[in-house]
Amino acid sequence: DAGVIQSPRHEVTEMGQEVTLRCKPISGHDYLFWYRQTMMRGLELLIYFNNNVPIDDSGMPEDRFSAKMPNASFSTLKIQPSEPRDSAVYFCASSRQDQPQHFGDGTRLSIL
Amino acid sequence: DAKTTQPPSMDCAEGRAANLPCNHSTISGNEYVYWYRQIHSQGPQYIIHGLKNNETNEMASLIITEDRKSSTLILPHATLRDTAVYYCIVRARVRYNTGTASKLTFGTGTRLQVTL
């Protein structure tokens, strides 16, 4: 079975540009999670969805960050405008209710 | 959320059992203990989880003490490919308007180095 698929794997862009990260969850999973990982702060939960509806976005750092899930098979995390401190690895994960989360291989984002 | 405490690093010889401890003294009665690992440059990988009883799967065994305040992850025959950061997590259940959800809060984990 295909796992969680994230794209792009790597993104390098200049500060001020819009960045869009994409995630395709595992088919049949009704929960989707976005995480960010940095050396300083470790792995942090940003937002999660249930049945395409955002449930908890308390981890989203600020208004520059937004996430959407237009359908059960696709989600985006957008940063606009991007800043150097947004540089991190961003992970997407999905799960069924009360089942283990399965993670993608992440997007390594560098903002110059 | 119940917090967990893990040693920052451990070494294990290849072929030997790796025993990774975790303290979670504030765990609530209905909270599960989850273990994930993260191999360099990859996403976290689910290993095993349990509530009260010991659990075993093809990857590892999980031993939970009777008072549930600590647990040990056992990799019975460690290989070089088991070198990774291992995270012990107490899964919190969160109520929202239309139901409940489970949140994972990752700590700093234990960096396991398997050597020849």
3-state helix/strand/coil string of A85-112: HHCEEEEEEEECCCCCCEECCCEEEEEC
**Which string of DSSP letters, residue by residue, matches chain B?**
----B--SEEEEETTSPEEEEEE-TT--TTPEEEEEEE-TTS--EEEEEESSS-EE-SS-EEEE-TTSSEEEEEETT--GGG-EEEEEEEEEEEEETTEEEEE------EEEEEE-
Q: Across-strand partners of A78?
A: A20, A66
Gap between the Cα atoms of A65 and A46, Å rounded: 9
Give the SS3 label for residue B82.
helix
Gap between the Cα atoms of B64 and B55, Å rounded: 9
- Taking the CA atoms of A84, A89, A95 and A100 in sequence, report the sign of the dihedral they define: negative
DSSP state of A16: T
| Residue A65 contacts B where some CB pair is shorter than 8 Å | no
Answer whether B94 sits within 8 Å of A56, measured CB to CB. Answer: yes
Radius of gyration over every alpha carbon of chain A, rounded to an integer in angstroms: 13
Q: Closest Cα partner for B6 from B116, B89, B63, B78?
A: B89
Gap between the Cα atoms of A44 and B53, Å rounded: 29
A89/chain B closest Cα distance in angstroms: 9
CA distances to A11, A64, A84 from A17, rounded to whole Å, are: 12, 11, 11
Look at A34-38, A52-56, A92-96, B98-102 and tell me which has the smallest mean pLDDT: B98-102
pLDDT at A1 over 70: no
Answer whether A56 sits within 8 Å of B104, measured CB to CB. Answer: no
ω before A84 within 30° of 0 (cis)? no
Q: What is the pLDDT of residues B18-51, one digit of tens each?
A: 999 999 999 988 889 999 999 988 999 999 999 9
Confidence label for B3 from pLDDT (cuts 50, 70 and 90)? confident
Residue B98 CB-half CA count within 13 A: 7
| Residue A25 contacts B where some CB pair is shorter than 8 Å | no
Q: Across-strand partners of A6?
A: A23
Nearest Cβ partner for A43 among B94, B98, B106: B106
Q: What is the pLDDT of residues A22-78, one digit of tens each?
A: 999 999 999 999 999 999 999 999 999 999 999 889 999 889 999 999 999 999 999
Answer whether A101 sits within 8 Å of B94, measured CB to CB. Answer: no
* pLDDT at position A14: 96
Answer whether B94 sits within 8 Å of A31, measured CB to CB. Answer: no
* pLDDT at position B89: 94
More confident residue, B15 or B93: B15
Answer whether B44 sits within 8 Å of A4, measured CB to CB. Answer: no
